[in-house]
Amino acid sequence: MPRLRTAFSIMVLCILASAGNARGGARATSNTAASAPSTDWQVRLHKEIPLLGHRNWIAIVDSAYPLQTSEGIETVETNWDQLDVVRRVMHEVVESPHLRPVVFTDAELKAVPEDDAPGVTYYRDSLDHFLESFGAQKFERQSLPHEQIISKLDEAGKTFHILVLKTRMTIPYTSVFLRLDCGYWTDEQEKHMREKMGKP
C-alpha cells in the first residue's frame, strides 16, 4: 500500500506540472500574438471600402494621434509601419471606381528638422515619391495646419463615418488624411450641372 500511495502521488504531481507548463505555453503564445503586426485592419478596410463614399474620411496617423470622441470616428490600431499602411490604403482607394481621394498632409511636416526628429527626411521624401507615382489625375493633394485638419475630422465625424488607422510612427506631423469624393463625378461636372439648373 505505501508503494501504491507513492506512485499515485508522483502521478498527481506529474499531471499538475504538465498543466502548469501548458498554461505557461498558452501565455507565451498569447503574448507573441499580441505583439505581432495584425492584419485585422486590412480586412476591415477591405470590407468598409465599398460602403464609403463622398464626405467619408480615412486617416493614417502616428502613434500619438489623439483618440477623438465624435460618434462617427472609428479608431483602429494597426501595429504597422506608417508608410506601408499609406501604400495599402491608397491602392485600395484609387483602385475603387466609386472613390476619388483628396489627400491632406500637415503643413508642419515641411518644417520638422531632422536633428529633432531623426528619420523625418526619409519619410518626407518617401511619401512624396509614392504620392507622385500616382499622377495628378488620380487625386488632389493639399497641405493644412494640423489643428485645422483635426477640426475637419471632428466636424465630419458628427455626421459621416471616419476610419482612423493608427500606426507605429513616432515622428510628429506625419499623418496622412484622405477625404473621399465621388470617383465618377468631378467638381467641374457638379458645377456645370448647377449652372444648368440655375437657367430657366
The CA distance from 59 to 45, in Å, is 12
Is a pLDDT exceeding 50 seen at residue 15? no
User: What secondary structure letter does DSSP report for 73?
Assistant: E
pLDDT in tens, 139-163: 889 999 999 999 999 999 999 999 9
Average pLDDT value over all residues in the chain? 84
- The percentage of residues in the chain with a pLDDT greater than 70, rounded to a whole number, is 79
pLDDT value of position 139: 83
Q: Edge to edge, what strands does the sheet with 57-61 contain?
A: 73-77, 162-166, 57-61, 176-182, 99-106, 140-144
Angle among Cα 15, 18, 22 to the nearest 5 degrees reads 140
What pLDDT does 23 receive? Answer: 42
Cα distance between residue 193 and residue 129, in whole Å? 36
Instruction: Report strand pairing: 176-182 vs 73-77.
Output: unpaired
Q: What pLDDT is stored for residue 31 in this prediction?
A: 30
Give the tens place of pLDDT for each residue, 107-117.
999 999 999 99
pLDDT band at 199 (very low <50, low <70, confident <90, very high): low
Q: Taking each helix axis from N to C terminus, what angle separates 120-132 and 82-94, rounded to the nearest 10 degrees?
A: 10
- Residue 39: pLDDT band (50, 70, 90) is confident
Burial class (CB in 10 A: 0-12, 13-18, 19+), 140: middle
The pTM score is: 0.78
Average pLDDT for residues 163-182, to the nearest whole number?
A: 97
